[in-house]
Amino acid sequence: MLDYKNKKEDLWQVSTVLSRGRATYDVVEASGKLVYLDTFSDSDWNIVSDSEMYTTVLFEEKRGGTRISIVTRFATNEQLDRAEAIGMIEGFTDAYDRLEEYLETLMGGKNTMETVISKDGTQIAYTKQGTGPAIILISSAAADYQDASPLAEHLSVNFTVYNYDRRGRGRSTDTSPYEIAREVEDIEALITVAGGQAYLFGSSSGAVLALEAANLLGDSVAKLFLYEPPFIINDSRKPVPSDYVEHLNGLIKAEKRSEAVEYFASEALGIPGEYIDYMKADPSWNRMESLAHTLAYDGIIMGTTQSGNPLPTGRWNVTIPTLVMTGENSEPLFHDAARALVEILPKAAAHSLASQDHSAVIMAPDVVAKAIADSE
């Protein structure tokens, strides 16, 4: 148990410093135990010396349920001080709250999925919850409806939330060949279920799909909420290769799903190769592999907007109210992209979420939901 009464106030002066971590799983026992080693890195991905700490997660049956115990061991008091200074203790608490929220959602039956048939016969699975104006959540690359479930829960206080599996993901089916217009038709089918008009929320490449839908569907889209569309419009980071989609499709055709995820992480996300090796040890890698065939879909959606050139001014004829959100701690490319988009959309406004980064939809769904609700 930590003693907060004696906390040094100056520790909090560095709480907004960007810090990265990597975890290496040493033990993975199904329904039993996880043990992993955490190491801090700075904003340039350089490993911070003497920053190792072991975390053990135990799952135990108790009184008809499951008890989850999490213990993190710090080798020195200096390590503990650093963890407190960057807000790690609060991060653990927030993570436990989100886990409890997610489990309650699953166990409470709130995520019972319904289906709607898109124009080309593809079955689109979705959940519906809450009351208020209809809002449809559009996931990013390598994600499905589960990633937005906590956000859906928070939004359901003020909205009727439709959270769906994009085609080729989760419980939705798929139809070849892929076209952006088919994904827009999926959204159109959901809008019909919602009563003929809805707001759209999109995260990362899902934000760009939301833009495409608003461009094609006209008045049936009433408002847009976009979180960090990943346009690369200058030299803030290297552009995505021009043959990115072709290369991904080649890997999938060769049944090299892990290599496809690695290529996505390296070229689209810009993660250094040495860190991708650690990502592969994380259980989430297998989930991304299961969605690998859809990575090219998001590459097609992004088109040439990640080439390092300015945004095309005539691509989106969108005149509805649009809120373009970024995380305060996100990389420069996201802030540059948001500013550029606001400049070319006549009714767009920018909004920064304090202390957040590109992971806010998953890590801080309450903050994202509040920003959306407050804009009403």
Give the DSSP per-residue string, 260-280.
HHHHIIIIIS---HHHHHHHH
**Residues 142, 121: one domain?**
yes
**21 belongs to a structural domain:** yes
**Residues 283, 331: one domain?**
no
**Residues 282, 194: one domain?**
no
**Residues 210, 325: one domain?**
yes
**Residues 318, 223: one domain?**
yes
Residue 283 in tokens: 């259980």
Q: Which of 280, 300, 320 is the last residue of a domain?
A: 300
**Residues 156, 31: one domain?**
no
pTM (predicted TM-score) = 0.76
Q: Which of 263, 281, 300 is the last residue of a domain?
A: 300
* Rounded distance between C-alpha atoms, residue 34 and residue 22, angstroms: 15
Sign of the Cα pseudo-torsion (290, 293, 296, 297, in order):
negative
Q: Is residue 218 packed enough to be buried (19+ CB in 10 Å), middle (13-18) or exposed (0-12)?
A: exposed
Alpha carbon dihedral 367, 59, 35, 330, in 10-degree steps, equals -10
**210 belongs to a structural domain:** yes
**Residues 197, 323: one domain?**
yes
Q: How far is CA 51 from CA 19, 93, 296, in A?
A: 12, 20, 37
**Residues 280, 362: one domain?**
no
Smallest Cα–Cα separation from 371: which of 337, 328, 334? 328
Which CATH number is 41's domain given? Answer: 3.30.530.20
Please give the pLDDT value at position 75: 75
Answer whether residue 3 shows pLDDT above 60.
no
Please give the pLDDT value at position 146: 94
Mean pLDDT (the chain) is 88
Answer whether residue 108 shows pLDDT above 70.
no
Please give the pLDDT value at position 338: 99
* Rounded distance between C-alpha atoms, residue 188 and residue 267, angstroms: 31
**105 belongs to a structural domain:** no
**12 belongs to a structural domain:** yes
**317 belongs to a structural domain:** yes
**Residue pLDDT, tens place only, 48-107:** 777 778 888 888 775 556 777 788 887 777 777 777 776 676 666 666 666 666 565 555
* Rounded distance between C-alpha atoms, residue 155 and residue 173, angstroms: 26
Q: Are strands 20-29 and 33-41 parallel, antiparallel or unpaired?
A: antiparallel
- Reduce the secondary structure of 78-124 to three states and give it as a string: HHHHHHHHCCHHHHHHHHHHHHHHHHHHHHCCCCCCEEEECCCCCEE
Cβ of 354: how many Cβ atoms within 10 Å? Answer: 10
**Residues 150, 214: one domain?**
yes
**Residues 29, 152: one domain?**
no
* Rounded distance between C-alpha atoms, residue 174 and residue 367, angstroms: 33
Q: How many domains does the chain have?
A: 3
Give kind and range of the element (H or E) at residue 371: helix 365-374
Please say whether the beta carbons of 213 and 187 come within 8 A.
Answer: yes
Please say whether the beta carbons of 296 and 252 come within 8 A.
Answer: yes
Residue 325 in tokens: 């959100």
**Residue pLDDT, tens place only, 288-322:** 999 999 999 999 999 999 999 999 989 999 999 99
Please give the pLDDT value at position 263: 98
Q: Which of 300, 326, 344 is the last residue of a domain?
A: 300
Domain region containing 287:
244-300
**101 belongs to a structural domain:** no
**361 belongs to a structural domain:** yes
**Residues 170, 196: one domain?**
yes
**Residues 218, 310: one domain?**
yes
* Rounded distance between C-alpha atoms, residue 191 and residue 222, angstroms: 11
Q: Average pLDDT, stretch 329-351?
A: 98
**23 belongs to a structural domain:** yes
**Residue pLDDT, tens place only, 135-183:** 999 999 999 999 999 999 999 999 999 999 999 999 999 999 999 999 9
Which CATH number is 145's domain given? Answer: 3.40.50.1820
